[in-house]
Amino acid sequence: MSLRTTSFLCCFILFLPPVFICSCADYVPHERLQLDNTPKEPPEGVYGRLWAIPNPLHLGPLPEGETLENVLVNLFNVGSEDISITGIDLTGDPDFVFEPSFLDIIEEIDALPYTLPGREGCYDFTSIWVSINYEPENKLPVSARLSIQTDDELAPEIGVPLSASIDFPPHESSEPACTTLPIVRPNPIRFDSTLPGTEQYLDVCLHLYGEEGPATITSIEAFGEDIFIDSLTDDYGKPVTTPITYQPGSMKMTLLRLSYRPSGGKPDDGVLGVVFINELGDEHALLVPVLFS
The pLDDT tens digits of the residues spanning 152-190 come to: 888 899 999 988 876 544 444 455 667 788 888 899 999
In this predicted structure, the answer to whether residue 220 has a pLDDT above a threshold of 50 is: yes
pLDDT of residue 43: 75
Outline where DSSP puts E strands in the chain.
Answer: 50-53, 57-62, 68-77, 83-92, 96-103, 108-109, 114-116, 126-134, 142-150, 157-166, 181-185, 189-191, 200-209, 215-223, 227-233, 244-246, 254-260, 270-277, 283-292
* d(C-alpha 293, C-alpha 272), whole Å: 17
Domain ranges of the chain: 50-177, 187-292
- Superfamily of segment(s) 187-292: Immunoglobulins (2.60.40.10)
Q: What is the mean pLDDT of the segment spanning 26-54?
A: 62
Instruction: Mention every residue, 6+ apart, whose C-beta is less than 8 A from residue 27.
Output: none
Mean pLDDT, the chain, integer: 78
CB-CB contact of 253 with 67 (8 Å): no
217 forms beta bridges with 244, 276
**CATH level 3 topology of 50-177:** Immunoglobulin-like (2.60.40)
The mean-pLDDT minimum among 27-36, 85-94, 106-115 falls in: 27-36
φ/ψ of 224, rounded to 5, equals 140, 175
pLDDT of residue 4: 44
**211 or 263, which is more confident:** 263
CB-CB contact of 284 with 236 (8 Å): no
pLDDT tens, 107-126? 566 678 888 888 877 766 77
